[in-house]
C-alpha cells in the first residue's frame, strides 16, 4: 500500500502534471466565503455590541431593530453573538484550538469582530488580522468576519452561517492553506455542530478512488461530500455524541429556541486530529510551494496526505474505496 507518512517526501510527489492542475482549484462559493484580503479598518462610525471575545459591529439603519428583551440591542445582533459564542465554547470544549490561542494569531489579536453589513452573499471570513478602531480612541487588531445584515428569519432552524464563518477562523489558526474544497467543504460539515443533518445519507458518497474523481468530485467542488464520508466512516470508531456541559448545550436564542438542535456531532474527533496533523506540516514553509498563495494543487496534496495519515491513525476499518483512496 503506497502511503506517504514522511512529509519530507511529499516534494517527490509534485510532478509536472500536479502543477498543471493547480489552476482548477481556486473556485469559490458566493454562499459562505473564505477570504484572503489585506488588513482592513472600520471606515465609518457604527454601533458595536461586545460579548466575551466577540464584537458585533452594525449600523441600525441596515438591520431589523426588533428588540424583544428591550435592552436597546437589536435581537439580530444579540443572536449573532449567541451563535458565535456557543460555537466557540463548544469547539473549545471538544478540543479544537481556538484561533485566538493559536500560534498563528495569539500574539496578534484579542477579539473576533463580526461586521453586519449589506452584502450579496451570506458571510465571509478573513485570515488576515485587521485594524479595528472603536470610539475614535482605542485601536487594536482583530480577526474579521462580515455577515449579511438581512438574513431572513435569522437564526430560525436553518441559519448557521455564523458557525460556518467562525470555523473558518479555526481552520486559519491551524494552517495557512486555503484551497476552497478544503475550507468550504469542511466548514459546511462543521455546521452540523448546531443543526441536524442526514450524515448517514450524505456519508454514503464514496471517497475518490482515482486522480480523475479526486479532481472532478473534490478539488473542483467547494461544498463536496468528502468530509461527510470521513465523518460517517469515523463514526464506526469515535464517540461522536455531543456531550457538552449544560452551560453550553442548553443555550438559547432570544426567542427561546435552542442553539444546539441535537446531541450529536459526527466525526469531530477525526476532524480535530486531522487539523492537528495538518498544523504540523502546513506551518513549515519549507514544505510549501509558494504558488497562488497556498491555493494550488501541491498544497492540496499536502492536505490529502494529512487525511490519509489521520485515517491510518484512527484505525478506521477500510472498505474498498478507502483502500483505493489511500493508494492515490
Residue 223 to residues 156, 200, 215, 220, Cα–Cα distance (Å): 22, 17, 14, 9
Rounded Cα gap, residues 194 and 159, in angstroms:
10
- Chain center to CA of 128: 15
Question: Confidence class of residue 196 from pLDDT cuts 50, 70 and 90?
Answer: confident
What pLDDT is recorded for position 30?
40
Burial of residue 218 (CB within 10 Å: 0-12, 13-18, 19+) is buried
Burial class (CB in 10 A: 0-12, 13-18, 19+), 275: buried
Instruction: Identify which has the larger pLDDT, 1 or 146.
Output: 146
**Residue 222 pLDDT > 80:** yes
Please give the helix or strand (H or E) that residue 114 lies within, else none.
strand 111-117
Q: What is the pLDDT of residue 9?
A: 43
**Candidate from 148-152, 195-199, 281-285, 323-327 with smallest mean pLDDT:** 281-285
Rounded (to 5) percent helix, strand, coil in the chain: 45, 15, 45
Instruction: For residue range 248-269, list pLDDT tens digits in order.
Output: 999 999 999 999 999 889 899 9
Does the pLDDT of residue 135 top 80, yes or no? no
Q: Residue 289: what pLDDT?
A: 47
Residues 288-310: tens digit of each pLDDT: 545 445 455 668 988 999 999 99
Q: What is the pLDDT of residue 45?
A: 61
How are beta strands 130-134 and 138-148 bridged, if at all? antiparallel
pLDDT at 185 over 50: yes
CB 262: neighbour CB atoms within 10 A? 13
CB 122 within 8 A of CB 34: no
Tell me what the mean pLDDT of segment 55-64 comes to.
95
Q: What is the CA radius of gyration of the chain?
A: 20
The CA distance from 306 to 214, in Å, is 15
Is the pTM here over 0.75, yes or no? yes
Cell numbers that stand for 87 in this block: 460555537
The answer to whether residue 132 scores a pLDDT higher than 50 is: yes
Which region holds residue 138: left if phi is over 0, alpha if psi is between -120 and 50, else beta? beta
Mean local confidence (pLDDT), 214-223: 93
Q: Which residues lie below 8 Å from residue 285, measured CB to CB, with a gap of 6+?
A: none
Average pLDDT of the segment spanning 122-127: 96
pLDDT at 20: 38
Domain edges within the chain? 1-29+177-328, 31-174
% of the chain with per-residue pLDDT over 70: 78
- Summarised one tens digit per residue, pLDDT across range 6-42 is 444 443 444 333 433 333 333 333 445 665 443 333 4
Which residue, chain included where needed, has cell 469582530? 113
Mean pLDDT of the chain: 83
Cβ 192 vs Cβ 84: under 8 Å:
no
Amino acid at each position: 500500500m503506497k502511503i506517504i507518512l514522511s512529509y519530507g517526501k511529499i516534494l517527490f510527489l509534485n510532478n509536472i502534471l500536479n502543477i498543471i492542475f493547480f489552476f482548477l482549484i481556486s473556485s469559490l462559493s458566493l454562499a459562505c466565503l473564505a477570504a484572503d484580503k489585506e488588513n482592513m479598518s472600520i471606515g465609518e462610525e457604527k454601533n458595536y455590541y461586545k460579548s466575551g471575545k466577540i464584537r458585533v459591529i452594525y449600523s441600525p439603519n441596515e438591520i431589523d431593530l426588533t428588540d424583544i428583551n428591550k435592552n436597546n440591542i437589536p435581537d439580530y445582533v444579540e443572536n449573532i453573538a449567541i451563535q458565535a459564542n456557543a460555537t466557540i465554547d463548544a469547539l473549545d470544549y471538544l478540543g479544537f484550538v481556538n484561533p485566538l490561542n493559536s500560534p498563528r494569531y495569539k500574539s496578534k489579536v484579542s477579539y473576533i469582530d463580526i461586521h453586519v453589513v449589506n452584502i450579496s452573499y451570506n458571510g465571509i471570513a478573513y485570515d488576515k488580522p485587521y485594524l479595528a478602531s472603536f470610539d475614535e480612541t482605542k485601536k487594536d487588531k482583530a480577526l474579521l468576519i462580515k455577515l449579511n445584515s438581512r438574513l431572513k428569519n435569522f437564526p430560525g432552524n436553518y441559519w448557521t452561517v455564523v458557525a460556518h464563518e467562525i470555523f473558518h477562523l479555526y481552520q486559519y489558526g491551524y494552517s495557512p492553506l486555503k484551497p476552497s474544497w478544503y475550507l468550504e467543504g469542511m466548514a459546511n460539515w462543521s455546521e452540523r455542530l448546531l443543526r441536524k443533518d442526514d450524515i448517514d445519507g450524505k456519508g454514503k458518497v464514496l471517497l475518490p478512488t482515482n486522480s480523475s474523481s479526486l479532481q472532478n468530485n473534490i478539488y473542483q467542488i467547494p461544498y463536496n461530500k468528502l468530509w461527510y464520508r470521513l465523518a460517517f466512516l469515523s463514526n464506526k470508531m469515535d464517540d461522536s455524541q455531543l456531550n457538552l456541559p449544560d452551560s453550553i448545550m442548553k443555550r438559547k436564542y432570544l426567542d427561546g429556541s435552542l442553539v444546539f438542535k441535537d446531541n450529536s456531532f459526527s466525526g469531530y474527533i477525526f476532524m480535530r486530529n486531522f487539523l492537528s496533523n495538518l498544523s504540523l506540516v502546513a506551518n513549515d514553509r519549507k514544505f510549501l510551494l509558494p504558488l497562488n498563495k497556498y491555493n494550488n494543487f501541491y498544497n492540496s496534496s499536502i492536505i490529502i496526505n494529512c487525511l490519509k495519515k489521520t485515517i491510518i491513525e484512527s484505525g478506521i476499518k477500510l472498505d474498498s474505496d478507502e483502500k483505493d483512496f489511500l493508494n492515490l
